[in-house]
Each structure stands twice: as C-alpha cells, then as structure tokens.
Amino acid sequence: MFRFQSVWRLEWVVSTSLDNADALFLLLNGLGGIILAESVTVADLVKNTRLDVYHGAELLADKVITTSDISRPGLALTGYFNYYPRERVQLLGKTETAYSKNMTHDERLMIFRKMCQLTTPAFVVSTGLPVPAELVTAGQENGVPILGTKMTSSRILSNMTNYLEGKLAERQSVHGVLVDIYGLGVLITGDSGVGKSETALELVKRGHRLIADDRVDVYQQDEQTLVGEAPKILSHLLEIRGIGIIDVMNLFGAGAVRQDTDIDLIVHLESWTPDKQFDRLGNGEQSRRFFDVEVPEISVPVKTGRNLAIIIEAAAMNFRAESMGYDATKVFDDNLNSLIKENSAQDSHK
C-alpha cells in the first residue's frame, strides 16, 4: 500500500528519467493507496471562509489546524480547563462575549491567557462583535491570531467545519477517470489500457467536464456523499497513449474542467469475452464501497466498434432518470406482463 505526502516533490518528478517511467506512474497513481490528510493553515481558513484578520496577520501561514472540530469555549470562560480542546479553533459568539463582560479586567486577562495556548490555531469572534482587549493581549503574548466575521456563529461554524472536514478528511487513491456528465460525477474505472482516458477525452469534446485522470483522490464528505478530486500535480491534465500529456483547460477552455465533484456513479470498463455475462436488462444491482458510502456501479463491455463515450453518457442520463423515479426496466417488465396476459386471454377464447 502506498502512502503519499500532501506536498509533492516536483523537482524529483521533473528530474526523473524515462527509464524510471514505471516508478513515476506508480508514484502518481498510488493504486488503492490511502493518502495522508492535507495540512491546513489558518491562512487557508481565512481565505476560504471569508474571515477578517483583526490581529496577528503575520502568524497565519505558520499556524496549522489539525482537526475539523470547532470549540465553543463556554466552560473555559468559567475557569474549567480539565477538558479544554486547545488544538481546536476557538469560536466566540454572543453568549461567550456577553459572559466575559461580567468578569473583571484581571479575570478576563487570566482566562484568555489560559485559553491562548501555543497549539491553539486561532480565535474567531462572530456576528461583528467587538474583540475584548484582554483577548488581543493574550493572543499577542502567545502567538495566537484573532479573527472575526459579521456572520452569525451558526453560519461561520458550519462554513469552517465543512471546509476543514473536506481538507482534513482521509483520502483514498483510486485508479480511474472522473468526469462530470450532465451534473453527475461519473467515475470510470477499468484495467490499464482499456480506454478510460480516450473515453474521457471524447466526453470532454461532447461538452462534459474533466475532474481527474489516471488517479482520483476520494474522500467522504458526510454520511451519504463521496467527493473526488485530482491531485494538484495532475490537475486538468489528461494522458493519451501515443500523444502524451495534454492540458485540457488550455485546449478546451475553463468550462471543460472542474476542481472536484460528488461521485454518483461508477462505470467499470471490462474487455469483452464470449464467456463473460453482462447485464442486458439493467436490473443487476452492483455497488462499490468507499469508506462508509456505497456508490452504484455498472459494468460496460469494451469491444471494437462500441462508442464508449455515448454509452457512458446514456448510462448517466438513465441513472438520473432512475433517481427521479423512472425505471425503464420496470416499464419493460410491465409491458411484457401485459402482453403475456393479453396472449393468455386470446388463447382462452379459442
């Protein structure tokens, strides 16, 4: 099993000789590997959740966030520090700031000094509330940045949690191609050389959007949602045998790519053999499990003359129709049963 650091050593990749092409392929693809979670700095949090920096702007790039949990330090303000989660971002809202106003200057300074630990990433004051002067002092003494926002506590708590969960979630590396087809995330899998990248290129030409080629980093966003994205080093790139690596965004425009998408359907490409049985009615239910999420899967035989791009396009549209309650297989069964009843009725009258 391969494990990857979140920061790629691009110099090593550039200097890799053609003789090491196989090793490079394994490094970039990491077949089935579990990828170490990305590190997130307070600077990243500020940029992606629209926070304002009140104090400690010079500290943002060095303060690392290691958990997606956000702390509402109400108990800590009362002086109870037995289970104080110092490694979390601390969020102060109306309740916390109102309580602190009933404390004396010395009490506030003592409490905030205890709360501002070296491992504390940052404090966030919501709802446009004024920042206590004692918090600023304690933050400056211990190197903890003070942030703020006009958003309510509930809104900024949700925004920060969603962002941090996405960035810090455990990721699994999957060998395949991820394409957005009519708004559905379709993960195309199959053996190497079966035609996944060529099919993705045809889909891009038909107006769909590429997310990742060869290696897809997958993580669980919540109990029902699986998200796929490309590793930074492979973003917007597509490898076509005989041509090499092409930049999809450069050739087809920004509308031909996406950074990430939910994975709604898996299409597995298999080389056709006479002894292999494939589903012909669409009533075979398959799925593949990633983390705690089951994703529907269909198998498509690959044979000379078959237009895989159109087939996968149709599979995506059919999946959407089924999600909306229309089942073509059920319609066929109903028609067949009606025909049998009709023929039986005619036979009984003879």
Residue ranges of domains in the chain = 40-167, 170-328
Quick: pLDDT tens for 115-161.
Answer: 999 999 999 999 999 999 999 999 999 999 999 999 999 999 999 99
User: Alpha-carbon distance 273 to 302, whole Å?
Assistant: 9
Runs of H (alpha helix) within 30-142: 42-49, 74-77, 94-101, 105-115, 133-142
- pLDDT tens sequence across 87-112: 999 999 999 999 999 999 999 999 99
Cα angle value 286/287/289 (rounded, 5°): 155
For 40-167, which CATH superfamily applies?
Answer: HprK N-terminal domain-like (3.40.1390.20)
Catalytic residue, from 44, 180, 213, 214: name it: 214
- Please indicate whether residue 330 is annotated as part of the active site: no
Six token digits for residue 23: 């090793």
Cβ atoms < 10 Å from Cβ of 38: 17
Distance, CA of 302 to chain centre? 29
> Per the residue annotation, which of 108, 196, 208, 209 is the catalytic one?
196
List, in order, residues 6 or more apart from 350 with CB less than 8 Å away: none
**By the 8 A CB rule, do 211 and 74 touch?**
no
pLDDT (tens place) for every residue of the chain, 350 residues total: 333 333 333 333 433 443 443 444 444 444 445 555 567 999 999 999 999 999 999 999 999 999 999 999 999 999 999 999 999 999 999 999 999 999 999 999 999 999 999 999 999 999 999 999 999 999 999 999 999 999 999 999 999 999 998 889 888 999 999 999 999 999 999 988 888 999 999 999 999 999 999 999 999 988 888 999 999 889 999 999 889 999 999 999 999 999 999 999 999 998 877 776 666 656 667 889 999 899 999 888 888 778 999 999 999 998 898 888 877 677 777 787 887 877 777 767 66
| Whole-number CA gyration radius for the chain | 27
Q: Could you confirm whether domain 170-328 is CATH 2.60.260.20? A: no
- State the CB neighbour count (10 A cutoff) for residue 272: 12
- 214 given a catalytic annotation: yes
How much is the pTM? Answer: 0.73
Alpha carbons 14 and 10: distance in angstroms, whole number: 6
CA 152 vs. chain centroid, Å, equals: 26
Which own/partner contact pairs does 328-336 have at CB distance under 8 Å and 24+ positions apart? 328/282, 329/281, 329/282, 329/283, 332/281
Tell me which residue has tokens 């969960």: 165
Q: Which of 114, 155, 175, 268 is catalytic?
A: 175
DSSP label at residue 256 = G
- The question of whether 88 is a catalytic residue gets the answer no
